[in-house]
Amino acid sequence: MTAYFVGVDGGGTRTRLVILNEAGHVVGFGHGGPSNYDDVGIDSACTSIAQALEQARTDLPSDAAFAASFFGVAGVTSDADREIVRGMAQRVGLTQNVHVDHDIRIALAGGLSGRPGIALIAGTGSSAFGVNAQGQSWRAGGWGHLIGDEGSSYWLGVQAMRAAVMAFDGRLGATLLQQSVLERLGVSHVDEILHRIYVQPFTRAEVASLAPLVIDAAQAGDKQAQTLILQAVEDLADCVKAVADRLQMASPEICTVGGLLNAGAVFTEPLWAAVHRRLPNARVTLPEMPPVMGAALLALSQSNVPLSPQVIANMQAEASRLEAAH
């Protein structure tokens, strides 16, 4: 009987799930809503994963055997977190050889096709994670929006609101953010912002959605927005350096993942500069495969399936096809 391997990318806004065979070919793909159970609860997270799995297995035999699965889920940092996700896997019918870790591990596995290196996530949250040639790993950042996530979309969203009210007070120079933040929040005067953010429901995703306002203002020459971006990239580069130092990687290969990396040169150029000031010999690359394919790669690896150059090439080709289709 053919063995199948499941990779799950469980994020705060959506879930992606892919099913591979041993040769690295995709035999099913599905997507669902958010599956970060810290945000939406276990029941809703399970519903999202089940929806993605149902879509992905549409063309498979009803008795298809899943030899292994790997879940990369936002917010997973402890053994207790991993047990919760394993329980969720059981609920959706994935019971054999279930492995769980944080979402940045699958970002690294996909981004560098399983090679040692460092992944930097700059999306709703932020963190860096690396694995060296000896298999040792380390993470920096990723401590959530209350005590971490510096340089992330959430962080930039908070700073955008701070800049808006400080400019109104006269504590900060003029900035385009003062008007654009109010418009995005749907309030006509800055005095209404308190009710909007403290009384009405106001999610992390909504805060993070303000980050593009900073990017747009910076591109328009706004000095306050440009300063925020410079602060953000310094914090992100510090995370990368901390991982490189811990793992004794003097010239790491670094892949970058997350919505902020799609912001263009106004964000990426100062970020690369900040990284290279700390690690002059680092090589920064775009991801070769998305995180969901990294999860599938880890499912194969955990089952001792040889990751031959041909298997990796098959996966990379499938990843390109998936990205074009979705």
Burial of 86 (0-12, 13-18, 19+ CB in 10 A): middle
- Distance of alpha carbon 5 from its chain centroid, rounded? 22
Interatomic CA distance for residues 101 and 82, integer angstroms: 7
| DSSP bridge pairs for 254 | 118, 284
Interatomic CA distance for residues 22 and 3, integer angstroms: 7
Closest listed residue to residue 210, CA positions, set 157, 260, 161, 162 = 157
DSSP 121-144: EESSSEEEEEE-TTS-EEEEE--H
Closest listed residue to residue 143, CA positions, set 204, 79, 74 = 74
Give pLDDT, residue 326: 66
Interatomic CA distance for residues 193 and 169, integer angstroms: 13
- Residues whose CB falls within 8 Å of the CB of residue 278, separated by 6 or more in sequence, listed in order: 237, 238, 240, 241, 244
- Residues whose CB falls within 8 Å of the CB of residue 201, separated by 6 or more in sequence, listed in order: none
User: With b meaning 16 or more CB within 10 Å and e meaning fewer, what string describes 32-48?
Assistant: bbbbbbebbeeebbbbb
Both tokens of residue 85?
A: 């996700």
Structural domains of the chain ordered from first start: 3-113+288-325 (3.30.420.40), 144-285 (3.30.420.40)
List strand residue ranges (DSSP E) for 21-125, in order. Answer: 26-32, 65-73, 98-102, 117-122
Residues above pLDDT 90, as percent of the chain: 74
The count of residues in the chain is 326
Backbone angles phi, psi at 10, to 5 degrees: -100, 100
Q: What is the DSSP secondary structure assignment for residue 307, as one 8-state letter?
A: -
CB 240 within 8 A of CB 127: no
Q: pTM, whole model, 2 decimals?
A: 0.87
Give pLDDT, residue 95: 85
Q: What is the DSSP secondary structure assignment for residue 312, as one 8-state letter?
A: H
Give pLDDT, residue 36: 81
Query: Which phi-psi region, left, alpha or beta, contains residue 62 (left: φ > 0; alpha: ψ -120 to 50)?
Result: alpha
What sign has the CA pseudo-torsion 108, 112, 117, 123?
negative
Give pLDDT, residue 1: 65
Closest listed residue to residue 287, CA positions, set 102, 71, 26, 113 = 113
The 10s digit of each residue's pLDDT in 232-266 is 999 999 999 999 999 999 999 999 988 898 899 99
Give pLDDT, residue 74: 79
pLDDT tens across the length of the chain (326 residues): 688 999 999 877 789 999 999 999 999 999 998 888 877 888 899 999 999 999 999 888 888 889 999 999 877 888 899 999 999 999 988 888 999 998 899 999 999 999 999 999 998 889 999 999 999 999 999 888 899 899 999 999 999 999 999 999 999 999 999 999 999 999 999 999 999 999 998 888 899 999 999 999 999 999 999 999 999 999 999 999 999 999 999 999 999 988 898 899 999 999 999 999 999 999 998 899 999 999 999 999 988 888 999 999 999 999 998 877 76
- Residues whose CB falls within 8 Å of the CB of residue 139, separated by 6 or more in sequence, listed in order: 102, 104, 127, 128, 129, 130, 243
| DSSP bridge pairs for 118 | 130, 254
